[in-house]
């Protein structure tokens, strides 16, 4: 099989930040499970249809670990999602253990308690916008999720310039040294915070983890690594969603006007933003490794093979979404896979939804004439970053 020609990731886009690469559409129709070459040059199976991605996300025969990590196919140079992590024998058990530990910190009740605070932070950032044109990416999309995750974890916001720089390095898909250094810096920083929280605990996630340390058998390295990854994931992905949500509303003034006229649409509007804002994955999909042979659509994924599950492409599958490329803020049902599915469903989904609801619900009223300050085709996508997204979002009003 590996002797046959394979498509090479990343696929060439058509230059529109809101669209997916045309090759994905062709494969979704003709070869929904197909061999591709990853950014690292290794073979992997790419899965693009909604039903298949959803099924495989919930399949315990796939995981992030590999029985022979040294020979495992590589996805990219990222230290986070570039290759296998964990041990096949206990990977799923360890994930369940960590999820049980973190679930109280991200409970719906705790997230709702943050809503008023998030709304105030949005208002404050909008009040501080300078005269247009403005890079909304730097002025709103980045600082808001950073503020929120800092408050939740107990991380001083004054340190945001430092950990944003480390996060930028960590997100590199092309420089493994920089990616590794970024992770080490974030973990070392968290070790320093652990010492502070141990002496003066507060109502935050790091303090909660320390309080559970003895009962759960956690060592400081466990807490530091968990907190570092929460800090990274808790703001990086939401930055992307805010940028693309604003761009979608700007690009569809009828939908923006509908949201301004009916605040009750904010829930489904955010779900539609989530559906369409996950399309520009820079590595092709969520990486997994087969722990056993899996046959699907007469294709056998062999044990040890790499698999890329593409939620962003699945979110455009016409089998699951009528008129899948249409931005419809009243769409229902909306079974998007942006937060995943099954045991690894994103634990921060409630927090992300609250942030997005507060941003879009307020921005359509505060900036009703918001528009791009440059042509859409000039917007730069960050193809070399794990989270993708826009480099900047110049706007005027």
Residue-level pLDDT at 2: 47
Q: Classify 41 in phi/psi space as left (phi over 0), alpha (psi -120 to 50) or beta.
A: left
As a whole number, mean pLDDT of residues 19-30 equals 96
Q: Give the C-alpha separation, 113 to 130, whole Å.
A: 30
The answer to whether the bond into 321 is cis (omega within 30° of 0) is: no
Check whether 3 has a pLDDT greater than 90.
no
Q: DSSP string of 55-117?
A: HHHT-TTEES--SSGGGSPP--S-TTTSS--S-TTTHHHHHHHHHHHHGGGG-HHHHHHHHHH
Burial of 365 (0-12, 13-18, 19+ CB in 10 A): exposed
Helices (H), the chain: 22-30, 50-57, 91-102, 108-127, 136, 143-153, 160-170, 176-199, 205-211, 213-216, 220-251, 253-261, 266-276, 311-314, 349-366
CATH architecture of 7-396: Orthogonal Bundle (1.10)
Residue-level pLDDT at 351: 95
As a whole number, mean pLDDT of residues 156-185 equals 96
Evaluated on CA atoms 194, 143, 237, 73, the torsion sign reads negative
Strands 306-309 and 286-290: antiparallel
Percent share of the chain, pLDDT over 90: 92
As a whole number, mean pLDDT of residues 24-47 equals 97
What confidence tens digit (pLDDT) does each residue in 328-340 have? 999 999 999 999 9
Phi, psi of 370 (to 5 degrees): -60, 135
Cα–Cα separations (whole angstroms), residue 227 to 38, 83, 220, 245: 29, 21, 10, 27
This model's pTM is above 0.85:
yes
Residue found under tokens 């998030």: 118
Q: Give the C-alpha separation, 374 to 392, whole Å.
A: 11
pLDDT band at 111 (very low <50, low <70, confident <90, very high): confident
Give the angle 199-351-250 at the CA atoms, nearest 5°: 135
As a whole number, mean pLDDT of residues 383-391 equals 93
Check whether 280 has a pLDDT greater than 80.
no
Residue-level pLDDT at 1: 42
Mean pLDDT, the chain, whole residue set = 95
Percent share of the chain, pLDDT over 70: 99
Check whether 279 has a pLDDT greater than 80.
no
As a whole number, mean pLDDT of residues 85-103 equals 93
Residue-level pLDDT at 4: 60
Check whether 192 has a pLDDT greater than 70.
yes
Check whether 87 has a pLDDT greater than 50.
yes
Residue found under tokens 């989904």: 349
Phi, psi of 34 (to 5 degrees): -140, 155
Nearest to 64 by CA among 88, 28, 45: 88
Residue-level pLDDT at 278: 83
Contact criterion met (CB below 8 Å) for 114 and 353? no
Residue-level pLDDT at 355: 97
Contact criterion met (CB below 8 Å) for 136 and 142? no
Provide the angle, in degrees to the nearest 10, between the axes of the packed helices 160-170 and 143-153: 100
Phi, psi of 148 (to 5 degrees): -65, -50
């Amino acid at each position: 099989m590996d002797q046959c020609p394979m498509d090479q990731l990343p696929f060439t886009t058509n230059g529109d930040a809101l669209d997916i690469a045309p090759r994905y559409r062709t494969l979704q129709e003709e070869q929904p499970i197909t061999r591709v070459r990853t950014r690292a040059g290794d073979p992997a199976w790419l899965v693009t249809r909604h039903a298949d991605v959803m099924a495989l996300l919930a399949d315990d025969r796939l995981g992030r670990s590999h029985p022979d990590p040294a020979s495992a196919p590589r996805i990219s140079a990222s230290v986070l999602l570039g290759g296998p992590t964990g041990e096949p024998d206990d990977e799923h058990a360890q994930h369940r253990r960590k999820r049980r530990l973190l679930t109280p910190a991200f409970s719906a009740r705790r997230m709702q308690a943050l809503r008023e605070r998030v709304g105030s932070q949005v208002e404050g950032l909008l009040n501080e916008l300078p005269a247009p044109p403005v890079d909304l990416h730097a002025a709103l999309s980045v600082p808001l999720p950073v503020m929120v995750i800092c408050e939740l974890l107990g991380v001083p916001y004054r340190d945001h310039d430092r950990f944003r720089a480390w996060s930028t390095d960590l997100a590199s898909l092309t420089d493994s040294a920089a990616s590794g250094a970024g992770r080490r810096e974030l973990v070392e920083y968290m070790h320093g915070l652990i010492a502070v929280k141990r002496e003066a605990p507060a109502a935050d996630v790091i303090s909660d983890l320390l309080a559970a340390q003895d009962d759960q058998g956690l060592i400081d390295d466990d807490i530091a690594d968990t907190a570092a990854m929460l800090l990274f994931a808790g703001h990086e992905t939401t930055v992307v969603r805010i940028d693309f949500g604003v761009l979608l509303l700007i690009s569809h003034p009828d939908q923006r006007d509908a949201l301004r006229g009916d605040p009750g649409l904010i829930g489904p509007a955010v779900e539609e933003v989530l559906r369409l804002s996950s399309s520009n994955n820079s590595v092709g999909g969520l990486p997994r490794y087969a722990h056993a042979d899996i046959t699907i659509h007469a294709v056998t994924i062999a044990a040890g093979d790499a698999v890329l599950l593409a939620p962003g492409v699945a979110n455009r599958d016409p089998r699951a979404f009528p008129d899948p490329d249409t931005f419809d803020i009243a769409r229902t049902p909306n079974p998007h896979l942006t937060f995943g599915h099954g045991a690894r469903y994103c634990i921060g989904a409630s927090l992300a939804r609250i942030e997005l609801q507060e941003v879009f619900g307020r921005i359509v009223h505060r900036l009703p004439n918001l528009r791009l300050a440059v042509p859409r085709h000039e917007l730069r996508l960050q193809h070399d970053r794990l989270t993708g997204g826009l480099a900047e979002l110049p706007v005027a009003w």
